[in-house]
């Protein structure tokens, strides 16, 4: 971002309560945390239930903020400090909305391609893979961590320089219309839907409604020039294409698949025909459409650490089909599809497939997501405690059980949030799935997680291998006596459960 105070006031509908000393001074960054202010930043004073950002305007100005956005008058001391520092203070109707207003203005200055992505699971991992593939050839700005909400999305745009060649924006979603609102100012050139799962089903009521909400991204793509990247393995792939009217609007579809190119499904025994048919064979899928460009994986296998190795293929981007070997640092079969999605974006950007594969191999996992840690007690801890939904829980359990360790596989599972009336069935489904896996011990903590334990026992798991814990201290009480050197412990739950404390306790 490079905007002066007058531009900022104009695009946010604000008025000066302290004029800048030099109107030509450009703001070059933005934060709402006064502890993170760097010289040249815009400081945004956000009101909160426990902390009010207006109380820290003075600290932000001392740290070098050149503009402060506020919603209420400041005391004389803060105004005097602003004048002394030569900084501008601008009062706006709503500081949170002002962040989006700034992003809307800055978007008009960006020359590079804006690529947005969403999905029920794997958004952050896929965003990181897309970022790393594109960074092999282009200058890239991308969402930091999982800052994919109403504040994080505009901040991503504002981190890009005017001549940044690719901007990768991760979009979260909790309800219908939210992605459309984000797209109103992000104005994505390309859009990628990682998958349609059960995350946030509490608010949307069904997977079809979730698919409609995800499709808002594809509906926002520009007619004639946009590109939509769709997961051919997802049973809502055809629905997404039809709902967003991609063919009618001349928005090119690019498919990605952890199985194979859909057009070759019947001929190739390594492919998964039923998955592929969901794209072209769905009643909602476009009829008689031309074969779409695609990236897919073949000959997939896992190493002893659960990291996938496979042969990456691409077709439809050049006269001849391409292939390249690829071995990920990420764990789990589910990341093969995420890697294919990133390679599809890279190949559509003109990056050779071999270079895409090299970038995928170099990409590192995000902290707290299938993070493998060595504990002092001589056992392994797999930290996946950042968040959970039914899809990610199943993927995490399967990945964990593929981990080759000399000892036992122990899973510590907590409640999954935002499932509403579907919560009992979803937790029971995880229990039934866990019973099919080679888990020597299943520790369930939380009221809903008790349903995981009940269902696992009902599906035939030995009751002596199941622990129902009412608190984190009870988890430690069990693990202290049951975990031995050589074992591996998976920790997985929604973030509100606070099971990162279990990870910290086990590792240290």
pLDDT in tens, 435-444: 999 999 999 9
In tens, the pLDDT along 453-466 reads: 999 999 999 999 99
In tens, the pLDDT along 197-234 reads: 887 777 788 999 999 999 999 999 999 999 999 999 99
**Closest C-alpha among 364, 327, 363, 346 to residue 137:** 346
Question: Dihedral, CA atoms, 239, 240, 242, 247, nearest 10 degrees?
Answer: -140
Tokens standing for residue 109: 């200055």
> Residue 261: is its pLDDT beyond 80?
no
d(CA 145, CA 204): 25
Exposed e or buried b for every residue in 246-265, given b needs 16+ CB within 10 A? bbeeebbbbbbbbbbbbbbb
The pLDDT value given to residue 270? 36
Angle, helix 95-107 to helix 152-159, in steps of 10 degrees? 40
> Residue 29: is its pLDDT beyond 60?
yes
**Closest C-alpha among 11, 9, 17, 2 to residue 82:** 17
> Residue 289: is its pLDDT beyond 70?
no
Mean pLDDT, range 337-361, rounded to an integer: 98
The answer for residues whose C-beta is within 8 angstroms of residue 397's C-beta and 6 or more apart is 411, 430, 433, 434, 437, 439, 490, 492
> Residue 277: is its pLDDT beyond 50?
no
Element containing residue 42 per DSSP (H, E): strand 41-44
The pLDDT value given to residue 290? 57
Residue 367 CA, distance from chain mean position: 13
In tens, the pLDDT along 127-186 reads: 999 999 999 999 999 999 889 999 999 999 999 999 999 999 999 988 899 999 999 999
Sign of CA dihedral 417, 505, 433, 275: positive
First-to-last alpha carbon distance for the chain, in angstroms, is 42
**Could you identify the residue written with the tokens 């279990």?**
502
Element containing residue 16 per DSSP (H, E): strand 15-18
The answer for residues whose C-beta is within 8 angstroms of residue 169's C-beta and 6 or more apart is 114, 115, 116, 117, 142, 143, 153, 156, 157, 186, 188
């Amino acid at each position: 971002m490079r905007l002066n105070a007058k531009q900022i006031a104009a695009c946010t509908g604000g008025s000066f309560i302290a004029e800048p000393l030099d109107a030509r001074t450009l703001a070059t960054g933005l934060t709402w945390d006064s502890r993170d202010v760097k010289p040249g930043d815009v400081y945004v004073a956000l009101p909160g239930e426990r902390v009010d950002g207006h109380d820290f305007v003075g600290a932000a100005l001392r740290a070098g903020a050149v503009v402060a956005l506020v919603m209420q008058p400041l005391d004389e001391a803060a105004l005097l400090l602003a004048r002394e520092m030569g900084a501008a203070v601008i009062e706006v109707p709503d500081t949170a909305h002002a962040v989006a207003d700034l992003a809307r203005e800055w978007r008009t200055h960006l020359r590079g391609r804006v690529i947005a992505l969403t999905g029920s699971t794997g958004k952050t991992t896929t965003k990181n893979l897309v970022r790393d593939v594109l960074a092999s050839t282009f200058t890239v700005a991308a969402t930091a961590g999982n800052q994919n909400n109403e504040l994080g999305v505009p901040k991503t745009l504002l981190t890009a320089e005017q001549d940044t060649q690719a901007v990768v924006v991760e979009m979260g979603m909790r309800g219908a219309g939210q992605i459309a609102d984000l797209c109103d100012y992000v104005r994505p050139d390309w859009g990628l839907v990682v998958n349609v799962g059960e995350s946030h089903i509490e608010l949307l009521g069904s997977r079809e409604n979730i698919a409609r909400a995800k499709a808002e991204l594809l509906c926002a793509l520009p007619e004639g020039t946009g590109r939509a990247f769709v997961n051919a393995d997802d049973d809502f792939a055809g629905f997404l294409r039809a709902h967003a009217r991609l063919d009618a609007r001349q928005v090119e579809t690019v498919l990605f698949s952890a199985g194979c190119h859909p057009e070759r499904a019947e001929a190739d025994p390594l492919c998964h025909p039923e998955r592929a048919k969901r794209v072209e064979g769905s009643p909602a899928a476009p009829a008689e459409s031309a074969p779409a460009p695609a990236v897919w994986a073949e000959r997939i296998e896992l190493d002893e650490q659960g990291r996938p190795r496979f042969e990456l293929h691409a077709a439809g981007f050049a006269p001849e089909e391409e292939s390249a070997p690829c071995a990920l640092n990420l764990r789990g079969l589910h990341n093969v599809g995420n890697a294919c999605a990133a390679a599809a974006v890279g190949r559509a950007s003109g990056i050779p497939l071999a270079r895409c594969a090299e970038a995928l191999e170099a990409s590192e996992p995000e902290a707290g997501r299938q993070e493998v840690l060595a504990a002092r007690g001589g056992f392994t801890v797999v930290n996946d405690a950042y968040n959970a939904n039914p899809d990610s829980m199943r993927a995490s359990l399967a990945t964990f059980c593929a981990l080759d360790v000399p000892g036992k596989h122990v899973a510590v599972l907590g409640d999954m949030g935002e499932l509403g009336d579907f919560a009992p069935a979803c937790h029971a489904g995880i229990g039934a799935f866990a019973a099919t896996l080679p888990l020597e011990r299943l520790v369930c903590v939380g009221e809903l997680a008790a349903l995981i334990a009940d269902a696992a026992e009902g599906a035939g798991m030995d009751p002596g291998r199941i622990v129902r814990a009412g608190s984190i201290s009870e988890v430690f009480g069990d693990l202290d006596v049951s975990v031995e050197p050589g074992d591996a412990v998976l920790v997985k739950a929604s973030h509100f459960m606070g099971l990162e404390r279990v990870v910290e306790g086990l590792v240290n």
